[in-house]
Chains A and B, each alone.
Chain A
Amino acid sequence: MTPGSASRVAARVAGAVFVLWAVATITFFALRLIPGDPALAVLGGPGSQASPEALEQVRQQYGLDQPLAVQYAAMLGRLLSGDLGQSYALKVPVADLLGAQLPGTVLLALAALAVAWLLALALALVSTGAGRVAASLASSIELTSAALPHFWLATALIALFSTALGWFPPVSTGDLGGLVLPVLTLAVPLAGFLAAVMREGMLDALAQPFALSARARGESAIGVSLRHTIRHAAIPAVALSGWALGTLLSGAVVVETIFARPGLGRTLLQAVTARDVPVVTGVVLVVAVVYVLMTLLSDLVSALVDPRRQAVAA
C-alpha cells in the first residue's frame, strides 16, 4: 500500500466516524427537542394514566432527571464503549433487539436490490436498440414505477395477488412465499431508477466507436450489449446501489408495517412513536453504518467494473 492510499483510507475512516457521530447527535437532540416527557412515553400507552411515583421511578432508572448535556455525554460514552444501551420501552439491550431484527431487513433489502437489478437489466437490454417506440415506452415504464409510493404499491399488490388471485399471502409469516410481495414492493420503484440510468449508459456506449467496430467484426446486437455495453450500463447503477440500499432501508419502514414483517423498519417506527431514544439511535446508527459500508463497497466494485478507474487507483 502506498502512503497516498493509506492516507486516503484514513480520510475515509475519519469521514465515516464523523458521519456516525453526527447521526447520533442529531438523533439524540431531535428526539429531545420534541415537546413531551420521555418518561410518560415509557409508561403511557393509550388510556393508561401514569402515577407520579411511577414516573419518578422511570426518570431515575433512565437518568432522565439529569441535565440534557449530562445525558448526551453519557450516551456518547456508552456508544464509544460499544454499548447501544437499553430500550426504554422493551427493557432489553438495544444490541440484542437490533441483532434479532437485522437479518430480516437485510434479507428483504438485498433480495429487493437483486430483483431490482434483474428487472432493470432486463428492461434496459430489451429496450435499447429496439427502436424509438420501445425506448419511449421503456422510459415511461421507468418513470411510472420510480414514482410509485411504497404504501400504494403494497396495497395494490395485496389486492391483486392475495385477495383477488390468492397466489401469495398478504402478511409475512416467515416462509419464502411471504417474501414475494414485500420484495416486489421495494424492487419495482427502485428498478425504475436503475433502468433509467442503465439504459442511458448503454445508449452512450452503443454510440461509441468500439460498439460500431464490434458490430463491424460481425457481432450480433445482443452480443455487443452483453459483452461490451452492459459494463457501461452497470457503472452508474453500481454507484447508485449504495444510495439504493439506503432508500430500501427507509422503504422497509412502510413495507414491514404493511406486511407485518419483523425488522429494523418496524422497530424504528415503533421506537419513534414510543420516544424510545436508545432504540431510535441504535437503528439510525446501524443504517448509517450500512450506508457508509455500501458506499465504500460500490466504490470498490465500480473500480473493478471500470478499468479506467483501476488505472487511476494504481
Chain B
Amino acid sequence: MPALPSRAARRALLPLAASAVLLLAACSAATGDATGTTGTAASGTPVSGGTLVYASGDAEPDCLDPHVGGNYPQALIAGQYLESLVSIDDNGRIIPWLADSWEMAEDGLTWEFTLRDDVRFSDGTPLTAADVKATVEHVQDPATGSSTGYLALGKVAGVEAVSDTVARFTMTAPDSALLESLSQPWLAIESAAGIARGLDENCQAPIGTGPFAVDGWVKQDHVALVRNDNYSSPPADAAHEGPAYLEAIDWRFLPDSASRYAALQAGQVQVIDNAQPDTLAAAASAGTFTEIDAPRPGASNRLELNSGQAPFDDALVREAFIRAVDVNDGIDSLFFGTAERSYSALSSVEPLGYSDESLFGTDLKKANALLDEAGWSEKDANGIRVKDGQRLSLAFPVSTNQSIPAEQSLFEQVQATAAEAGFEVVITPLDLSSWYGALFTNDYDVVSAPYTKVGPDVLRILYHSDSITPAPSGYFANLAQLSDPELDSLLAQAASSLDADERQTLYTAAQKRILGSFTVLPLYDQQNHFLLSPTLHGARAIGTVSTPSFYDAWLSE
C-alpha cells in the first residue's frame, strides 16, 4: 500500500460555490494545488485599519496563556498574540520564525537555536534567549499546570542562554520530534518579564511577539486584541512585512452554531469557526462566504477498540466489528460532503501518514464468519450474539463536549450497522469529566478521543505500551490498549531517529502494525472549518496546528 501523498494542501481555502457539487469540485481542485498560497485571493490592495470580529464556537479558555493546561481553544486565540521558534509551511516543512536558524549536535543531545535579533515583545522589550529559557522553564514547572506543552518537552533537560540570540537546548535523548513540538502554540515564546508577573496576571494577558496583543478580556463575552505596532517577526511564509493591517480583533464567544452563522449572515461578525456540516452546506448554497478547511494535525478522528479486555481482546472480534460497521454511508449523509473518509491513524495533513483502505471495507458476511470462528456463534432473542452466557455487548461512552452532533449521529449509525452482525453497542453520552471517569475505570470497549499534535510522534503517545500504564491521575493515552513489543520498538526508534528517510520507513512500518491490529477504525480528519465574510481578505490557517492567522488579513467595504 502506498503512503499518503503529502496532502498539506488540504489546509485549503475554498471559495464556496453555488452548490454542494461545486463545493466538492473546488475541494479536489484545491487538493491538487500545492503552491503554498492559502491566503484569500487578494482582490485589490490591502487596506489598513478596521476591527475584525471573530466568533468562536469553542469553549472560552480559562487562561489565555496556552502554557497553562494547553488545549485547542487556547491555541486558536494564542496564535494572534504569541509566536513560536519555528513554523510549518503548507507542504509540512519546518520554516524559520522567531529562530532564524538552528543546529543539532551530531549525537542529537544538544540543539542551538539562533534567534532573530530585531524582534520586540508587544510591551517593547527585545526578545532574547533568556525569554526562550523562561518559557521552557515555565512549561516544565509543575506549578504552571501545563499538560500538552509539558508532554512535548519530555526529552528536554534544560535550556541555556548562550548569548542574547543563542538558546541551547540540552536533551536527555535524541528527539526527532523537537522542531515539530516547538512549532506548537502550547510552546510559544512568552516574555520572561510577563511570566514573572505570576500565573494569574499572565493568564489574563500573556506578553508575546505576535501581530496583536491582548488589550482586555470580558469573561463570557470577548477578548479585545489590538495591533502590535512593534511587530517585526512574520513567519517565513507570510505575505507581507511590518505590522498587521487590521487595527484590532474583537474575539467573541458564540457557543450556539446556528446563531454563529446568523451573526455572519447579518454582518455582525466576519469569521466563524467550528462551522458545522449543516452550516457549511447552507453556506455553500448561499455562495456568499469563503471557507477555510484546515484539518487538525496529529491523529485522525478514529474509534479505538479496547483490546485490553473481553470481547475485544480477541483480534477476530475486533476485525468482525470493523467489517460489520458501515461508516461511509453515515459520513456521506450526515456530513454533506464536508468530511472525507480516512483510512489512516494520522491526519491527512501529516506528511508521514500511511493509509490502507483495504483493511476497512465493510463485509457483513465476513464479520459473521469471524464471529462464528471466535465462538460467538449463538444469538439471543434480540439477535445479540452470546458466548458462555455472555452477550456480545460493547460499552461506548461518548463525550458530548468533543463529538459534534453529526458525529454523535454517526455513532448511532455505527451502533445500528454493528447490530446486524449481532453486536450490542451501548452508547452513553457523557460530559467531559464523567467521560474521563469512564475511561479511567476501563468502562469502555469503543471510544473516540481526538488528539491534536504536530507530527507522527503522536503515534508514540497513543499506541506505545507505556501509555497503557495509568498515571497517578488515572489517565492513559493508549485507549486501544495496544501492547505490541515490536511496535514499541519501532516507535521508540522513530522518535530518536535523526535521519529523515529512516524516520519515514519506521513510521510507515509502525502504522502498518497499528492498522493491522484492528484496534483502530479511522473515520475522518479532525474537522476544522472556518467561514469568512466576503469583506475579509488575506486570512489563512497556519501549518502548525491549523489555527487561523489574521496577520495578512484586511477588511474591504
Interchain CB contact under 8 A, B71 and A260: no
From 67 to 103 in chain A, residues with beta carbon under 8 angstroms from any chain B beta carbon are: 89-92, 97, 100-101
**Size band of the interface chain A makes with B:** 35 or more
**In the complex, which residues of chain A have a beta carbon less than 8 angstroms from the beta carbon of B62?**
45, 89-91, 274
| Alpha-carbon gap, A10 to B472, bound state (A) | 51
Would you call A58 an interface residue if the criterion is a C-beta within 8 Å of the partner chain's C-beta atoms? Answer: yes
Q: Does A48 sit at the interface, judged by CB under 8 A?
A: yes
Q: How far is the CB of B454 from chain A (nearest CB, A)?
A: 13
A279-294 Cβ-contact flags toward B at 8 Å (1 or 0):
0000000000000000
B255 engages A47 (CB within 8 Å):
no
Contact B471 A52 (CB under 8 A): yes
Task: From known contacts A34-B433, A41-B432, infer whether A260 and B254 are also in contact, taking CB-CB under 8 Å.
Answer: yes
Contact status B437-A35, CB under 8 Å: yes
Interface residue A189 (Cβ < 8 Å from any Cβ of B): no
| Alpha-carbon gap, A55 to B461, bound state (A) | 19
Cβ proximity bits B126-161 to A, threshold 8 Å, 1 near / 0 not:
000000000000000011111110110000000000
**8 A Cβ contacts from B435-464 to A:** 435-438, 440-441, 450-452, 461
Q: Are A40 and B475 in contact (CB under 8 A)?
A: yes
Residues of B within 8 A of A7 (CB): none
Interface-side segment among B8-16, B260-268, B384-392:
B260-268
Write out the residue numbers on chain B whose beta carbons fall within 8 Å of the beta carbon of A55. Answer: 471-473
- Nearest-CB distance from B69 to chain A (Å)? 5
Size bracket, chain B contacts: 35 or more
B268 in complex: contacting residue of A38, A45, A49, A171, CB < 8 Å? A171
B219 touches A171 (CB 8 A): no
CB-defined interface of B376-415 with A at 8 Å, one 1/0 digit per residue?
0000000000000000000000010110000000000000
Q: Which of A162-170, A214-222, A225-233, A236-244 contacts B (4 or more CB under 8 A)?
A: A162-170
Q: Judging by beta carbons under 8 Å apart, are B148 and A266 in contact?
A: no
Q: Assess whether B146 is in contact with A51, with CB atoms less than 8 Å apart.
A: yes
Q: Are B262 and A47 in contact (CB under 8 A)?
A: no
In the assembled complex, which residues on chain A have CB atoms less than 8 Å from the CB atom of B436? 36-37, 40, 44
Question: Is the beta-carbon distance between A266 and B147 smaller than 8 angstroms?
Answer: no
From B218, B220, B263, contact of A267 by CB (8 A)? B220
The docked-state distance in angstroms from the alpha carbon of A101 to that of B219 is: 9
Question: Are A173's CB and B268's CB within 8 A?
Answer: yes
Is B256 within 8 A of A258, CB to CB? yes
Chain B residues near A274 (CB, 8 Å)?
Answer: 62
* Interface contacts beyond A45-B69, A58-B145, A273-B59: sample of 8 additional A-B pairs, CB < 8 Å, sorted by A: A46-B72, A51-B471, A54-B145, A54-B150, A55-B471, A162-B265, A170-B268, A275-B433
Q: Which residues of B contact A (CB under 8 A)?
A: 55, 59-63, 69-74, 142-148, 150-151, 199-200, 203, 218-221, 252-256, 258-259, 262-263, 265-266, 268-269, 399, 401-402, 431-438, 440-441, 450-452, 461, 471-475, 477
11 example contacts (A-B, Cβ-Cβ < 8 A) are as follows A45-B69, A45-B73, A49-B477, A52-B475, A158-B262, A163-B262, A163-B265, A170-B263, A258-B259, A260-B55, A275-B433
